[in-house]
Structure 1
Amino acid sequence: MDKPVCLIDRHSDGKLCVQQSALQILEQIQQPVVVVAVVGLYRTGKSYLMNRLAGKQTGFALGSTVESKTKGIWMWCVPHPTKAETTLVLLDTEGLGDVNKGDPKHDTHIFCLAVLLSSTLVYNSRGTIDNKAVMDLQYVTELTECIKVKSSDEDADDSSEFVKFFPIFIWAVRDFTLKLKIEGKDVTEDEYLEFALKLKRGTSRTVIEYNFPRECIQKYFPSRKCFTFLSPTTPDKMSCLESLDPADLSSEFLKVTDNFCKFVFHDSRVKKLKDGHTVTGRVLGHLAKMYVDTISSGSVPCLENAVIAMAMIENEAAVKEGLQVYQSGMEKLKESFPLKLKDVFSEHQHFSNTATQAFMKRSFKDTDGKYLKSLEDNINKLFDGYLCQNEQASKRRCEDLLSSLSAPMMEKFVQGFYAKPGGYDLFCNDLEDIGKKYNSQTNKEVKAEEVLEEFLKQKSVDSKSILQADKKLNEREKKINEEKENAILLKQEIKAKEEKQRQLEEKMKTERQSNEERMRQIKEKMEEAIRLQIEDAERAMESKLREKTDLLEKGFKEKAEMMSKEIEEFKRRSAEAETNRAKELALMLENSNKRHEETMAMVMEQHREQMMAIQQRNPLSLDACCIL
Structure 2
Amino acid sequence: MASETCMPDPMCLIENVKGQLRPNQKALEILSAITQPVVVVAIVGLYRTGKSYLMNKLAGKNTGFSLGSTVQSHTKGIWMWCVPHPQKADHTLVLLDTEGLGDIEKGDSDNDCWIFALAILLSSTFVYNSMGAINQQAMDQLQYVTELTDRIRTTSSPHSNGTEDSSEFVSFFPDFVWTLRDVTVRLEADGQSLTADEYLENSLKLKQGTSKEDKNYNLPRLCIRKFFPRRKCFVFYPPTEWKKLSELENLRDDELDSDFVQQAAEFCSFILSSSKAKALPGGVKVNGARLEKLVLSYIDAMSSGDLPCMENAVLALAKIENLAAMQKAIAHYDQQMNQGMQLPTETLQELLNLHRTCEREAIEIFLRTSFKDEDHAFQKELLAQLEKRWEVTCNKNVKLSSDLCSELLRNIFSPLEEAVTKDAYSQPGGYLLFVEKREELKKKYLREPRKGIQHVIRRHELQNYLIQEA
Could you state the TM-score of these two structures normalised by the residue count of structure 2?
Answer: 0.84
Alignment gaps of 5+ in structure 2: 1-5
Which AA in structure 2 matches 1:381? K
Residue number in structure 2 paired with 1:149: 154
Residue number in structure 2 paired with 1:214: 221
Aligned with 2:436 (options 408, 412, 426): 426
Q: Distance in 2 between matches of 1:234 and 1:399?
A: 97
Residue number in structure 2 paired with 1:68: 73
Q: Is the 8 A contact 1:120 1:167 kept in 2?
A: yes
Q: How many residue pairs align between the two structures?
A: 458
Aligned with 2:454 (options 426, 435, 450): 450
Aligned with 1:89 (options 94, 118, 125): 94
Q: Tell me the CA shift for residue 105 of structure 1.
A: 0.6
Q: Distance in 2 between matches of 1:117 and 1:381?
A: 41
Q: Deviations over 1:103-160 (max 9, x none)?
A: 2211111111111221210011122222222221111111121122233347522142
Residue number in structure 2 paired with 1:296: 303
- Quick check: 1:375 aligned with 2:382? yes
Q: Is the 8 A contact 1:294 1:301 kept in 2?
A: yes
Q: Is the 8 A contact 2:405 2:454 kept in 1?
A: no
Q: Tell me the CA shift for residue 33 of structure 1.
A: 2.6
Q: Distance in 2 between matches of 1:172 and 1:43?
A: 14
1:31/1:327 CA distance change after superposition, 3 Å: farther
- Quick check: 1:4 aligned with 2:14? no
Q: Is the 8 A contact 2:401 2:454 kept in 1?
A: no
Q: State the Cα RMSD in Å.
A: 3.4
- Quick check: 1:129 aligned with 2:134? yes
Q: Distance in 2 between matches of 1:247 and 1:390?
A: 78
Q: Tell me the CA shift for residue 428 of structure 1.
A: 5.0
Q: Deviations over 1:528-557 (max 9, x none)?
A: xxxxxxxxxxxxxxxxxxxxxxxxxxxxxx
Q: Is the 8 A contact 2:412 2:441 kept in 1?
A: no
- Quick check: 1:55 aligned with 2:63? no
Q: Distance in 2 between matches of 1:120 and 1:222?
A: 12
Q: Tell me the CA shift for residue 37 of structure 1.
A: 1.0
Residue number in structure 1 paired with 2:32: 27
| Paired residue secondary structure (1:105) | helix
Decide which structure has greater helix share: 1
Q: Counterparts of 1:97-496 in structure 2 under 5 Å?
A: 97-153=102-158, 156-160=162-166, 161-274=168-281, 276-333=283-340, 344-387=351-394, 416=424, 420-423=430-433, 425-434=435-444, 437-438=447-448, 442=449, 445=450, 447-451=451-455, 453-454=457-458, 457=461, 460-461=464-465, 463-465=467-469, 467=470
Aligned with 1:18 (options 4, 7, 23): 23
Q: Is the 8 A contact 1:406 1:434 kept in 2?
A: no
1:36/1:326 CA distance change after superposition, 3 Å: farther
Which AA in structure 1 matches 2:440? D
Higher relative contact order, chain-length normalized (CA < 8 Å, sep 6+)? 2
Q: Is the 8 A contact 1:34 1:87 kept in 2?
A: yes
Q: Tell me the CA shift for residue 386 of structure 1.
A: 4.6
Residue number in structure 2 paired with 1:509: none
Q: Is the 8 A contact 1:37 1:90 kept in 2?
A: yes
State the identity as a percent.
45
Q: Distance in 1 between matches of 2:255 and 2:350?
A: 69
Q: Distance in 1 between matches of 2:372 and 2:151?
A: 25
Q: Counterparts of 1:559-574 in structure 2 under 5 Å?
A: none
Q: Deviations over 1:382-424 (max 9, x none)?
A: 3444555666776787778778877997898789369614345
Q: Deviations over 1:155-185 (max 9, x none)?
A: 5221423223221000112223334444443
1:95/1:449 CA distance change after superposition, 3 Å: closer
Could you state the TM-score of these two structures normalised by the residue count of structure 1?
Answer: 0.65
Q: Deviations over 1:4-47 (max 9, x none)?
A: 222211233x2222222233333333433322111111111112
Q: Tell me the CA shift for residue 219 of structure 1.
A: 1.4
1:49/1:348 CA distance change after superposition, 3 Å: farther
Q: Is the 8 A contact 2:44 2:99 kept in 1?
A: yes
Q: Distance in 2 between matches of 1:116 and 1:133?
A: 22
Q: Tell me the CA shift for residue 95 of structure 1.
A: 0.6
Q: Is the 8 A contact 1:33 1:281 kept in 2?
A: yes
1:343/1:32 CA distance change after superposition, 3 Å: farther
Decide which structure has greater strand share: 2
Q: Is the 8 A contact 1:418 1:427 kept in 2?
A: no
Q: Is the 8 A contact 1:424 1:463 kept in 2?
A: no
Alignment gaps of 5+ in structure 1: 468-628
Q: Tell me the CA shift for residue 226 of structure 1.
A: 0.8
Q: Distance in 1 between matches of 2:403 and 2:253?
A: 76
Q: Distance in 2 between matches of 1:43 and 1:331?
A: 63
Q: Tell me the CA shift for residue 73 of structure 1.
A: 0.9
1:402/1:449 CA distance change after superposition, 3 Å: farther
1:352/1:234 CA distance change after superposition, 3 Å: farther
Q: Is the 8 A contact 2:425 2:431 kept in 1?
A: no
Q: Distance in 2 between matches of 1:246 and 1:332?
A: 63
Q: Deviations over 1:32-82 (max 9, x none)?
A: 332211111111111222222233333222222221111111122233333
Q: Tell me the CA shift for residue 450 of structure 1.
A: 1.7
Q: Which moved more, 1:192-201 or 1:226-235?
A: 226-235
Q: Is the 8 A contact 1:149 1:304 kept in 2?
A: yes
Residue number in structure 2 paired with 1:79: 84
Which AA in structure 1 matches 2:436? L
| Paired residue secondary structure (2:80) | strand
1:159/1:44 CA distance change after superposition, 3 Å: farther
1:249/1:321 CA distance change after superposition, 3 Å: farther
Structure whose CA Rg is larger? 1
Residue number in structure 2 paired with 1:524: none
Q: Is the 8 A contact 1:31 1:85 kept in 2?
A: yes
1:387/1:61 CA distance change after superposition, 3 Å: farther
Q: Tell me the CA shift for residue 340 of structure 1.
A: 6.3
| Paired residue secondary structure (2:454) | helix
| Paired residue secondary structure (1:422) | helix
